[in-house]
A = this chain, B = another copy of it.
Amino acid sequence: VTDLITALDTRDIPALRASLAEHSEAELADEMVRLDPVQQALVFRLLTKGHALGVFEKLEPVQQAELLEALRADETARIIEEIDPDDRARLLDEMPAGVATRLLERVSPGERRRTTVLLGYAPESAGRIMTPEYVSVRASTTAGRAIERIRRAGIDAETIYVVYVVDDTRRLVGVVSLKDLVLAEPDTPVAELMATDIVTATTDEDQEDVARRLADNDFLAIPVVDREQRLVGIVTVDDALDILEREDTEDVERIGGAAPLDRPYLAAGVLTVFRARIWWLFVLFVGLLFTSTVLRAFESSLEAVVALTFFIPLLIGTGGNAGSQTATTIIRAMAIGEVRLSDIARVVWKEMRVGLLLGGAMASLGVLLAIPLGRGADLAVVVGLAITSVVMLATFVGSILPLTLKRGGLDPAVVSAPFIATFVDGTGLLLYFTYAHLIMGI
């Protein structure tokens, strides 16, 4: 969308308007990340009211907060009033407490109350991300009257494709889709149409688990209940998609060995990116010091047989690679719910066998390389043994560590590829020199 940028640079308003009209809200939200706040505000003001709100809702909360700063107070107030309660809660979360309070004071009392309720739940919980806007009916009502109710309530409800059936105490007793209501004869009681084996989420559940359950069940929305099974809100499929995408991005960044960025990459400044990476680089550096220490401890061995050095990168490289393969596969399988803690024995047993096969194959290559060096058959044996051991160690650690972290309540994705590689480096070298000591007598 170069024309958008060009029109902005030249302040050519007619061209800018023409360019804006060509793009969907999602595309415009994508472009916002490439603009500075002043440009964003200009674009924003040229959009029609409905369009502007649509684009705003598709921005990340951090971007929303930054855009609001560039807008006038009256513009800000209008946006805050009109966005959905769940989006409002997420946005206020990103703002300094003082600013959030001031903004919330300007919101109409009804909307303010709904937002405060959501903000009362823990961050990243289902309660925090759900919307209180849904349609509920009694089981005794008819399909026709239920549709009539949707017609009246519909415009404000975030989704009307699923209607929730509650009893006198607001306890959830059934779910019926708009599809079933439309297909049924108008005088059919809802009780006959509704499904009663309901999959629900509770307010204090982790948002990622809830989004994943919605996705696994192919739902358009999942009802959120409190501890008394009373319906308090719903999470819709579009929000679930956003959550899964954001959580997946965070996992990938962790797997790569960095802290997750809290905003789109292009919107993150150099210092933000630096801060997300330096801490892990430092932790891994400390891990690498262990590797250095091992090398220093075996300085005399290295001086005796310099050829040992040639195989160090092969050995620790292959170990690191095998560990990275295992860890990322297991972390991902855990993230999408395929592998659970109870599968630990099955996983480790499989990885040990895979590790033996991989280690054996790579060791053969290592031996083939060591022999023509002409530094003795015992060097080849040491190299072969070391590669096999280090690959098996890597698949073992790469499989057991993510599962153990999860048991300890930590994010398995923290066992990044670099983390495993660093761990395997030091241990692998220790094994290598031990074999050299035992077999070559150095």
Contact = CB atoms under 8 A, between A and B. Distances in A.
Contacts of A183: 150-151, 154-155
Interface in A263-307: 264-266, 270-271, 273-274, 277-278, 280-282, 284-285, 287-289, 291-292, 295-296, 299, 302-303, 306
| A interface residue count range (under 10 / 10 to 19 / 20 to 34 / 35 or more) | 35 or more
Interface stretch (A10-18, A67-75, A318-326): A318-326
Given A155-B183, A270-B350, A270-B357, A418 B264 contact: no
Contacts of A348: none
A338 interface: yes
Contacts of A292: 310-311, 313-314, 369
A179 interface: yes
Contact of A248 (B248, B357, B417): B248
A253 to B, nearest CB: 6
A330 B252 CA distance: 10
Nearest to A354: B273
Contact of A309 (B277, B295, B311): B295
Contacts of A421: 317, 320-321, 418, 421
A259 to B, nearest CB: 10
A322 B277 contact: yes
Interface string A111-122: 000000000000
A249 interface: yes
Interface in A190-245: 197, 199, 213, 215-218, 220, 237-238, 241, 244-245
Contacts of A376: none
B277 A318 contact: no
Interface string A1-40: 0100000000000000000000011100110011000000
Contacts of A361: 278, 281-282
A256 B30 contact: no
Given A30-B337, A253-B332, A292-B369, 20 more contacts: A24-B199, A178-B179, A241-B244, A248-B332, A252-B255, A252-B331, A257-B325, A258-B329, A261-B329, A265-B338, A266-B347, A270-B354, A277-B354, A285-B362, A291-B314, A292-B310, A295-B310, A303-B303, A317-B422, A317-B425
The 9 closest A-B pairs by CB, nearest first: A256-B328, A291-B313, A218-B238, A26-B216, A265-B333, A258-B325, A321-B418, A288-B317, A417-B417
